[in-house]
Amino acid sequence: EAGVAQSPRYKIIEKRQSVAFWCNPISGHATLYWYQQILGQGPKLLIQFQNNGVVDDSQLPKDRFSAERLKGVDSTLKIQPAKLEDSAVYLCASSLRRQATSTSTDTQYFGPGTRLTVL
């Protein structure tokens, strides 16, 4: 089974420029996540989609970050304009369902990430 695909793998831009990242989840996975991983830190959830609806974007800097998941499959994360502190690896993950229950939770499968450098 194909894994989570992300592109580009690397991106270098100057501050105040715009950038977009693309993610294709595992086929059939209803839930899609975007994480930001700053050097030396663990990944931090930016936004979570259930099909094409947002269920959690509490940590997304909405003044400059936006994300969409059209048709409930592929997703795009955009930064406009970028700041130096946005330099990080942006990870996309997917899972079958959204909900953790008292007896189970779905494994999240991660893509290879996009390494963004803002100069």
User: Given the rule CB under 8 A, which residues bind another protein?
Assistant: 3-4, 31, 33, 40-45, 48, 55-56, 91, 93, 95, 97-108, 110-113
Q: Which long-range contacts (CB under 8 A, 24 or more apart) does 2-6 make?
A: 2/26, 2/27, 3/109, 3/111, 4/92, 4/93, 4/94, 4/109, 4/110, 4/111, 5/111, 6/90, 6/91, 6/92, 6/111, 6/112, 6/113, 6/114
Q: Find the shortest distance in angstroms from Cβ 32 to another protein.
A: 11
- Give the nearer residue to another protein in terms of CB position, either 27 or 103: 103
**In this complex, which beta carbon is closest to another protein, that of residue 93 or of residue 118?**
93
Answer whether the bond into residue 81 is a cis peptide, omega within 30°: yes
Which lies closer to another protein via its Cβ, residue 28 or residue 40? 40
Least gap, CB of 25 to another protein (angstroms): 12
CB of 62 vs another protein, minimal distance in Å: 18
